[in-house]
Amino acid sequence: MSKAPPSWKDVLKISSGVVIASQAVFGVQLLISQYFIKEHMGTEIGKFKEELKAELKELKGDVREWVKEIREGTKEIKEGMKEIKEGMKEMREEMHAINAKQDETNKTLQDLLQKKQGWSWW
């Protein structure tokens, strides 16, 4: 006794059932993977977040130290500039004194030369 082939309605019902079943399996797989991703990533993200917080605290401390060093360096530079200005002022005064002394020496030499030669410019 041979069986009759299934009708197209029976094939449609079977194929619809297979599609629905495969979609259900895919949905379950998706839910399972989302759950594991969420659990795993949540843990990893939490660890990463804590690491970032620790690094940020460390960087804040470093930045505060750098700012302190920069302020101290700036203060030293200002003091150095002040010393340089004072030194330049002293050098200017010394140069004026040297120039005045040189003018006086030149005048004395000129007077001596004029007396020796017996004449004067004025």
CA-to-CA distance for 70 and 109, rounded, in angstroms? Answer: 57
DSSP 27-91: HHHHHHHHHHHHHHHHHHHHHHHHHHHHHHHHHHHHHHHHHHHHHHHHHHHHHHHHHHHHHHHHH
- Round the average pLDDT of the chain to a whole number and report it: 86
1 pLDDT band (50/70/90 cuts)?
A: low
Proportion of the chain above pLDDT 70, given as a percent: 95
Residues 36-88: tens digit of each pLDDT: 887 777 788 888 888 999 898 888 888 889 999 999 999 999 999 999 999 99
The pLDDT of residue 85 is: 95
DSSP 87-111: HHHHHHHHHHHHHHHHHHHHHHHHH
CA-to-CA distance for 32 and 35, rounded, in angstroms? Answer: 5
Residue 93 in this model has a pLDDT that exceeds 90: yes
For residue 13, the surrounding DSSP H or E stretch is: helix 8-117
Kindly state the average pLDDT of the residues 17-46. 84
The pLDDT of residue 122 is: 54
The pLDDT of residue 116 is: 79
Radius of gyration of the chain (CA): 49
This prediction's pTM? 0.42
